[in-house]
Amino acid sequence: MFKKLWLLIVIGFMLVSYAFAALFTSPTTKVYSGVTDISVPVSLNTQGDQVAAFNSTIQFDTTKLVFKGASTALANKTIEYNQIAPGQIKIIMFGLNADALINGKVFDVIFDIVQGVGGQVTVTFADTVGAKPDATAVTVTIDPIVFDVVLKGDLDNDGFVNAQDIMIMVQQLLMGTPTLPLETLDINQDGTFNVRDLQALINIVLG
């Protein structure tokens, strides 16, 4: 009985290890709505097996994100991509060699945030297939990319940019020393908070 239990534990451990033979992860990215050319790094954390090449399908909501491309700084690998349907981009990473990818940043995915979009935006990877240096198959998992998008000018975080936010900004200007962070108040992104940010917020509200 004990031997059977031990064998099941060992087999279970091997299956778990194989299921996560190669794991790609990315940080949660907090940005303002309407920001362009957001480059999100995707890093590899191998779990035993090596990976020399892989392909996957990037899936995202086109009402929230615009795909701008994917790139890699690795000298011995190339990444190519092609749109196969709206909100679906096929990517493939390969090299004219059998070198295994090393842990750390492997590639970047670049997006624009659609103007006016706020909240959490997610990018997923489907149908991912990997190959070892000897060309045999290896399980590859790519975690979703999550954008935590903040609506520029939504000072009270109610999901809308309106007259209430203008009143809050006027109060912040009159304080002398604002209580809200600069990244929230600096609407025109010039590195300072002043009446020009108030005018930029009014322009957003007026559309």
Q: Report pLDDT digits (tens) over 4-54.
A: 443 333 334 333 444 446 899 999 998 888 889 999 999 998 877 889 999
**Of 104, 106, 100, nearest in space to 133 by CA:** 100
pLDDT of 98 above 90: no
Q: Report pLDDT digits (tens) over 150-162.
A: 898 999 988 889 9
**86: confidence class by pLDDT, cuts 50, 70, 90:** very high
pTM here is 0.78
The pLDDT assigned to 118 comes to: 87
**Which sequence spans correspond to the domains of the chain?**
21-150, 163-206
Q: Report pLDDT digits (tens) over 179-202.
A: 999 989 999 989 999 999 999 999
Q: In this structure, which amino acid lies at residue 121?
A: V
Average pLDDT score over residue span 121-147 = 95
Q: What mean pLDDT value characterizes the chain?
A: 88
Phi/psi for 150 (5° steps) reads -105, 125
The pLDDT assigned to 3 comes to: 46
* Architecture of the structural domain at 21-150: Sandwich (2.60)
**97: confidence class by pLDDT, cuts 50, 70, 90:** confident
Q: What are the Cα distances from residue 131, in Å, to 78, 101, 110, 137?
A: 15, 11, 25, 5
In whole angstroms, give the CA distance from residue 65 to residue 23.
Answer: 24
